[in-house]
Every structure is written in C-alpha cells, then in structure tokens.
Amino acid sequence: MKPASFELVADSGPGGDCLISLRGEFDRSTSPQITELAAWFLRSCSSEQLTFDMSAVDFIDASTVKALLDADRSLQSAGRVLVLDSVPPVIERILRFTHADPLLGD
C-alpha cells in the first residue's frame, strides 16, 4: 500500500457554510485530521453546517469511517450538521458496508 496522501482546502460555501475539500487517501495516519477539522470548526466557525467535499477522495479505511462518525456526533451534540458532498461511488459503498450510511444523508 502506498503511503497516504491528502490535501485539505477550506473555503466558505453557499450561505457562509464552511466547505472543506478532502483529496487523496485517508487511513489511520491521516484520519485524525478529520476529527481535528470538526473540533476547529466548532471553535472557529459560526455557521451551522460543515461540508466535506469528498469528490477527490480515492480511499478511506475503517479509521476514517470512525473519524467521520465521531465528527458527525461532535457536531450534532453542538446543534450543527456534517454534510458529505459528492461522495464517489467506491467511498459510498464503503460507508454503506460499514453501516455509516446515515452520513450520506439519504
């Protein structure tokens, strides 16, 4: 397996919501960034919604699924929302297979 690589690009989305584009591969060495982003969002942003643009994500493992679920729980407990946008089919299958499909919002 090649080493994980990723890029995080933060931007203000429609209506001032926070949009973060995730790119590359996320595994146990990089998934803590997901949890840290959720914590940063709770501390630094006043918007209600944090959106992760997943369109350029190539790979996630179980630790990334857990980090996404943890981030979602943290935001929900603060009355905020995590949205996964443009999830590639292969990543969507992983989320459904691991019963994390509520993150998909369907």
Domain ranges of the chain: 6-104
Q: Compute the distance between CA of residue 5 and CA of residue 15 in angstroms, rounded to an integer.
A: 30
pLDDT tens profile 46-69: 888 888 999 999 999 999 999 999
Q: Worst-scoring range by mean pLDDT, 7-11, 22-26, 74-78, 86-90?
A: 7-11
Confidence (pLDDT) at 47 = 85
Q: What phi-psi label fits residue 72: left (phi over 0), alpha (psi between -120 and 50 degrees) or beta?
A: alpha
- Global pTM reads 0.86
DSSP per position, 35-100 = HHHHHHHHHH---SEEEEEEEEEEEE-HHHHHHHHHHHHHHHHTT-EEEEES--HHHHHHHHHTT-
Are 74 and 36 in contact, with CB atoms under 8 Å apart?
Answer: no
What class, spelled out in words, does domain 6-104 have in CATH? alpha beta
